Structure 1
Amino acid sequence: MQAHVLLAPSFEQLADHRHGFVGWLVDLLRGPLAYRHTLLAVCPNSEAVTRAALEAAREANAPLFFAATLNQVDLDGGYTGWTPATLARFVADERIRLGLRAPVVLGLDHGGPWKKDWHVRNRLPYEATLQAVLRAIEACLDAGYGLLHLDPTVDLELPPGTPVPIPRIVERTVALLQHAETYRQQRRLPPVAYEVGTEEVGGGLQAEARMAEFLDRLWTVLDREGLPRPVFVVGDIGTRLDTHTFDFERARRLDALVRRYGALIKGHYTDGVDRLDLYPQAGIGGANVGPGLAAIEFEALEALVAEAHRRKLPVTFDRTIRQAVIESGRWQKWLRPEEKGRPFEALPPERQRWLVATGSRYVWTHPAVRQARHQLYQVLAPWLDADAFVRARIKARLMDYFRAFNLIGFNERLQAFLPN
């Protein structure tokens, strides 16, 4: 599967642009469409979210990006059960089912050593985690991904709390990009676009001076080696998973910085941000959403459970998913400093619920959760289509992003900029 197969026919000619369709879009957002639009990227953390995103893109008539982490989608199936190839096949089949003609771009999110939870838990040495990431990058390219986020900003071989030295981040970013380009060219695949940097506090790029040094060093090496320059730079714009605001002034400063390098700033953790309409004004070229959509899916299922209880129908979903999240242990990843080391049941009720809602994405494919969900849908079937109800809730939230980012009807606007 090649990178342009998910493009609508009118956009297929852009598959061979120097950075593919993504690079063409970024050129427009840096030029004639500057400060007007922000591209939306959805983490495909469940079948319901992925389907709802495609349905929303059809209604919005706008491009859709998917940004899949190695935790979600990998050669081992990740927590979704998808490999890059099976995700691509699922999306392609859904596009046909929906009659969707909007461009869809598959992307890798945070591809780098120790960015997969399993690698961290098992304390894999650098060479082992690197080789796993390189194999994943190859699989992404074979599956037709059009955007690769390369992020070597974690180093478990350093003392805890020690930022990775900028020269090491640059060296490892170049190595990942060089491998991707060599493999892509050997396989005669179309050009892809690259994304670098991180918003994570532990990544050591929060200080704007360090970000500038990183970009200076990276661009110098890439130009010397004849490698493509990234089109997106991920930056810390003040968003976190459990906050509702972002730092507009900081975003504008980072935007001014990365535009000097021919790139756009990319915002992660856009879940739950209040003033989404400020993203285009700040020059943010793209924004990732994911964990918050899992929470929307969870809340929709909560509503279904409440309806089942109202009808006095026997369901177990609420207890089953709570237990599955607790047993997974992955809720501990999102604990605040003062919560570390405390048992789940010792946390305040509102925090327990937030952790279950946010952590639900890790266990949607757990056999017991699947069974309990199927049972919930079955008992409600005489009265409503539970699956459609859940997708509609997710889609409604996604439409908020499409509207705030000025993406409604964006495909029609893009037609005017197509090469003759």
Structure 2
Amino acid sequence: MTDTATNRLARIAERRGREGITSVCSAHPLVIEATLRHGLARGGDVLIEATCNQVNQDGGYTGMTPSDFRDFVMGIAARTGFPADRLVLGGDHLGPNPWKALPAEEAMEKAGAMIAAYAEAGFSKLHLDCSMGCAGEPAALDDAVTARRAAQLAARAEAAATGPAPVYVIGTEVPVPGGALEEIEGLQPTTPAAVRDTIEVHRRAFAEAGQEAAFARAIAVVVQPGVEFGSTNIVDYAPEAARDLSAALNDLPQFVYEAHSTDYQTEAALAALVRDGFAILKVGPGLTFALREALYGLSAIAAVLDGHHAADLPRVTEERMLAEPRYWQSYYHGDAAALFLQRHYSLSDRIRYYWPDPQIAAAVEALLTRLEGVEIPLPLIGQHLGRLADPVRAGQVPPQARALLLAAVTQQLDTYEAAIRGA
């Protein structure tokens, strides 16, 4: 049997505490390109995931079905020369969340069609998330109902899978897809008892559904390690607070932990997470936040080069976000000044939902066309792209717009790479 990236991921528990993998959750083409170029340079596997809201059989907010997303990523891989056998595609929060306003039976049928589409398209890491209530149900469901629905979805995936047998991620203590709704001041890590209960209730539910073979390929449990970010603040990982949770893995040889919302953690914190058994580190908004910083910086640079005072891209994004507020309105709160700040600079980065907007995409394209072939002066890079000034000065990054955008994302990926290799 060929030792593909999926097969290596399935054996992740063998390297628990010593090595991990970064899970890049993004549909932005520049983020994906930077991720694949980064993987090509370091010679490792790459894990790229789409969420139920981004990509589903109805198109999601990207307009892509699972097969569309697969082709999209594979096309970028082909252009960058990244080998297909080192790439794992994953589906995140696969469950009824996009349709939770519907009655449970109808929402679960939609969720089943979605996970079947993911499996048929060759996605081989599937996060089963049925923790949210549907119409007429509590907002959060108990473990038994969650596990029963997860087993139902696993059966649909097993029947539809066309590539390597999928591996599964289970867990009921999952952050809401899309990010936190408010400022986060402190978090209680999942208790060891809750982890054991989650695993056992899923084991029973899968057995009752005749899905023992699928459960044998469950590799990770989503837990809360005490890590999260709000709109303007970050809760850093505290290893001492998660000591008991980490120790519980000693009795769970099949599993590692999957840590969501690790965006903006320091390299030391990420390395500590990996050492403590949180082998799968999810990152998404942190990468598009870095990309947005670089895009706004380039827009300011273009304005300076043209003798203007105001950058154009922030103006266009503001107009479009005000015209179409559905992706930020229920997440951001406060007066007009606070909402403006959050729309553009929130760590939850709801602006990432707007990059596919035709007017914003056209403004980005116009910006890159304006700067094409321009060698940007180092003082302007220092002023508007400060994190990138030293790599440019050292000759590691060309002082050109596209290279600077990719480098902004790569800097964040380098932090993860150092952590997962140096744990």
In the superposition, the TM-score normalised over structure 2's length comes to: 0.80
2-side partners of 1:397 and 1:312: how far apart? 30
Alignment of 1:159-238 (within 5 A): 163-184=140-161, 189-200=163-174, 206-223=190-207, 225=210, 226-229=212-215, 230-238=218-226
Instruction: For residues 56-98 of structure 1, give each alpha carbon's deviation from its aligned partner in whole angstroms, at most 9, with x where no partner exists.
Output: 1111211110121011122233233332112212222222222
Matched residue, 1:97: 79
Contact 1:41 1:289 in 2 (8 A): yes
In the alignment, residue 317 of structure 2 is paired with which amino acid?
I
From 265, 270, 283, the equivalent of 2:277 is 283
* 1:47 is the counterpart of 2:33: no
From 320, 323, 328, the equivalent of 2:319 is 323
Contact 1:199 1:268 in 2 (8 A): no
Bigger relative contact order, structure 1 or 2 (CA pairs below 8 A, ≥6 apart): 1
How far the C-alpha of 1:406 sits from its partner, in A, is 0.3
In the alignment, residue 219 of structure 2 is paired with which amino acid?
V
* 1:56 is the counterpart of 2:38: yes
How far the C-alpha of 1:361 sits from its partner, in A, is 1.1
The count of residues paired between Structure 1 and Structure 2 equals 375
Contact 1:325 1:359 in 2 (8 A): no
| Counterpart secondary structure, 1:332 | coil
Instruction: For residues 268-321 of structure 1, give each alpha carbon's deviation from its aligned partner in whole angstroms, at most 9, with x where no partner exists.
Output: 111001222212211112111001111111000011011012112676311111
From 293, 300, 305, the equivalent of 1:311 is 305
Q: Which runs of 5+ in 2 are unaligned?
A: 178-187, 376-399
Matched residue, 1:386: 401
Alignment of 1:54-133 (within 5 A): 54-101=36-83, 103-114=86-97, 116=98, 119-120=99-100, 123-133=101-111
In the alignment, residue 225 of structure 2 is paired with which amino acid?
I
2-side partners of 1:156 and 1:192: how far apart? 26
Q: Which runs of 5+ in 1 are unaligned?
A: 1-11, 16-20, 409-420
Change (3 A) 1:54 1:199: farther
Change (3 A) 1:361 1:155: same
Change (3 A) 1:264 1:406: same
Matched residue, 1:7: none
Contact 2:221 2:257 in 1 (8 A): yes
* 1:14 is the counterpart of 2:7: no
In the alignment, residue 70 of structure 1 is paired with which amino acid?
C
Change (3 A) 1:333 1:67: farther
Alignment of 1:351-370 (within 5 A): 351-355=342-346, 358-370=349-361
| Counterpart secondary structure, 2:126 | strand
Matched residue, 2:393: none
Change (3 A) 1:138 1:348: closer
Give aligned-pair identity as a percent: 25
1-side partners of 2:312 and 2:175: how far apart? 38
2-side partners of 1:180 and 1:400: how far apart? 34
Deviates more, 1:320-329 or 1:147-156: 320-329
From 414, 417, 423, the equivalent of 1:399 is 414
Contact 2:24 2:49 in 1 (8 A): yes
In the alignment, residue 74 of structure 2 is paired with which amino acid?
A
Instruction: For residues 121-174 of structure 1, give each alpha carbon's deviation from its aligned partner in whole angstroms, at most 9, with x where no partner exists.
Output: xx22222322222121121112111100000000033566x5312211111111
In the alignment, residue 283 of structure 2 is paired with which amino acid?
V
Contact 2:95 2:129 in 1 (8 A): yes
2-side partners of 1:256 and 1:358: how far apart? 34
Contact 1:44 1:50 in 2 (8 A): yes
2-side partners of 1:388 and 1:104: how far apart? 23
Contact 1:60 1:399 in 2 (8 A): no
2-side partners of 1:191 and 1:324: how far apart? 42
Q: Which runs of 4+ in 1 moved over 4 A?
A: 201-208
1-side partners of 2:38 and 2:27: how far apart? 16
Contact 1:198 1:234 in 2 (8 A): yes
Change (3 A) 1:257 1:43: same
In the alignment, residue 164 of structure 2 is paired with which amino acid?
P
Matched residue, 2:395: none
In the alignment, residue 410 of structure 2 is paired with which amino acid?
K
| Root mean square deviation, CA, Å | 2.8
